[in-house]
């Protein structure tokens, strides 16, 4: 009977120790969780999305702009010529609105009509 009295606390203590060790050794998941903003998009789709946004603006629709996308880096490069600094900034804003978190390299030149 004395053995059973000592055996219960010892087994309980070992159970607590092993459970604690098990939780400590677990690593948090390193796999990225899929989310809507992290969905895969290719270069062409990203370029089309930006061109569609630029096409919504009448002044930019007429401008000679090029869109180059690197979807893997979530990056867009805009180049070409517009007639005002406001149009240049508007192009950047519209490109950024095409996809959340996008990096826009604006290489657009401003050449006023004259």
> Is the pLDDT reported for residue 7 higher than 80?
no
List of domains in the chain: 41-110 (3.30.1340.30)
Eight-class DSSP state of 104: E
Mean pLDDT over each residue of the chain, to the nearest integer = 81
- Residue 36, both tokens: 């809507």
Please report, in angstroms and rounded to a whole number, the separation of the first and last CA atoms in the chain: 106
pLDDT in tens, 24-78: 555 555 545 444 444 578 999 999 999 999 999 988 988 889 999 999 999 999 9
Q: How far, rounded to the nearest angstrom, does the alpha carbon of residue 21 sit from its chain's CA centroid? A: 36
Render the burial of 105-114: b for 16+ CB within 10 Å, e for the rest. eeebeeeeee
Cβ-contact 97, 50 below 8 angstroms: no
Residue 68, Cβ neighbours under 10 Å: how many? 15
Predicted local distance difference test score (pLDDT) of residue 36 = 46
């Amino acid at each position: 009977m004395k053995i059973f009295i000592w055996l219960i606390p010892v087994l309980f203590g070992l159970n607590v120790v092993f459970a604690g060790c098990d939780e400590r050794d677990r690593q948090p998941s390193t796999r990225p969780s899929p989310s809507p903003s992290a969905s895969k998009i290719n270069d062409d789709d990203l370029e089309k999305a930006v061109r569609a946004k630029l096409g919504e603006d009448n002044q930019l629709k007429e401008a000679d702009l090029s869109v180059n996308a690197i979807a893997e880096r979530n990056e867009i490069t805009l180049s070409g010529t517009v007639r005002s600094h406001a149009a240049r900034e508007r192009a950047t804003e519209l490109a950024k609105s095409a996809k959340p978190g996008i990096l826009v390299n604006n290489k657009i030149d401003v050449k006023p009509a004259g």
